[in-house]
Amino acid sequence: MERAAMAASKQQMASAFSSLARKSPVAAVVVALALVLALLGSWIWSSVQPVDSASAGSSSSAPSLSSVAAFDGALEEAVVTHVTDGDTIKARLPDGTVNYVRLVGIDTPESVAEDQSRNCEEGVIASNYTKSLVSVGQIIWLQRDVSETDRYGRWLRYVWLEKPDDPTSKDEIASKMLNAILVREGYAQVKHYSPDTTLYNFFKTLGDEAIAEGKGVTRKWA
């Protein structure tokens, strides 16, 4: 019955529209445009209605790190093959690749520069301190910040003396990462080498404390 009623209603509307078109074509056009706009408005309204969050599911943003590092780069195991000076070592990867490793974010005084005038007592002291922490055959873990190598082709890395449970932990960075230990104990100066600056602020805090306490060879740059 409903379908028959709807069909009859449509026929009546069509007949009325045809009659209107014969009597006033302009009025018929206006009515037709009004119907089109009404249908279009109804479609737009339905498409912009808010989706029920319960049915669509909620999206949660990634939690911000409560610790110092904004990165969690993969740790790569390596074996030390040589200790050059305070901030440079040489290491071998499991695949046999060997290269120099420049500790990122820090700089120690020179001790083995070709230009002898750049070498200094503080550089020798810093180099000896690094050698007291790192030795040939020792297993270390390398972690990259942004850059792969420097202009000399050396790997730019954070060097972990112990594998951390959480590489973003301030305590673990300060106690297990060679870069941080050298700064904390006053044997390395903090450097802002862009773009590898993830730990710069934390290193700066450690470095300022070392200077205030007169640790290591901080007299060289304090």
Query: 22, 76, 92, 102: which one is catalytic?
Result: 102
Of 144, 154, 157, 184, which residue is the catalytic one? 154
- Among residues 22, 77, 92, 110, the one annotated as catalytic is 110
The token pair at 95 is 């695949």
- Whether 110 is catalytic is yes
Reported in sequence order, the residue ranges of the chain that DSSP labels E, i.e. its strands, are 76-83, 88-92, 98-103, 106-107, 139-143, 155-160, 189-190
Q: Is 10 exposed, middle or buried (0-12, 13-18, 19+ CB in 10 A)?
A: exposed
The Cα–Cα gap between 169 and 95 comes to 29
Active-site annotation holds for 92: no
Longest dimension (CA), the chain: 108
Q: Tell me if residue 102 is catalytic.
A: yes
Catalytic positions are: 102, 110, 154
